[in-house]
Amino acid sequence: MLSESEPRDSGPRDSEPRASARLDLLNVGEWQRVAPRYVVVEIVGSILFGLAVCGGAAFLWLLADQIWALYVGIGMAIVTVVSVLVEPRRVRSIGYQLRADDLLFRRGIMFQRFVSVPYGRMQLVDITRGPVARWLGLADLKFVTAAATSGVSIPGLNEADAESLRDRLVELAESRRAGL
């Protein structure tokens, strides 16, 4: 029992974060998606990697008489097939959203990643195009911030969309940095 001289807990203090201040990731609005053609880029990458590993395993098995390499090759072939089957769903899970003060990015099926990049913290916005993506008219938009672990890349954007988004983000970043 509390005595009259003991302070009573009157709820959350001003210095403590409130639960309502957390980002509601379920109701943030409409997500922008990457181009559906990006599935081709991911499938080609998975198949090429799987072929390289299976080829190396076959080389070790046939020419160096390493029986364990046969099992590695079979395992990698299975992993490649499963990866190719999962790629369309994984690509559909990628999305981004331009909000008032930041860019919100998400990806992942089982292990979801949500990243919020404040416009004022962006130091570099870069467009990259791999050979398959270039052939399909796609590009990746990469952001670099002061924090080394917060690098975000939005893959599979149409080239024109990537360029206009880059220009918009650079404009927003410059206006936000000016206010710091």
Residue 1 scores a pLDDT above 70:
no
Pure H helices in 64-140:
67-92, 131-136
* Residues paired with 96 in a beta bridge: 32, 105
What is the number of other CB atoms lying within 10 angstroms of the CB of residue 63? 9
pTM: 0.76
Q: Give the tens place of pLDDT for each residue, 51-72.
A: 999 999 999 999 989 999 999 9
Q: Give the tens place of pLDDT for each residue, 3-43.
A: 454 444 444 444 444 444 556 665 667 899 999 999 999 99
Name the token pair of 145: 């911030």
User: What value does the CA radius of gyration of the chain take, rounded to a whole number of Å?
Assistant: 24
Sheet arrangement for strand 95-98: 32-33, 95-98, 102-107, 113-118
Q: Give the tens place of pLDDT for each residue, 101-145.
A: 888 999 999 999 888 888 888 888 899 999 999 999 999 999 888
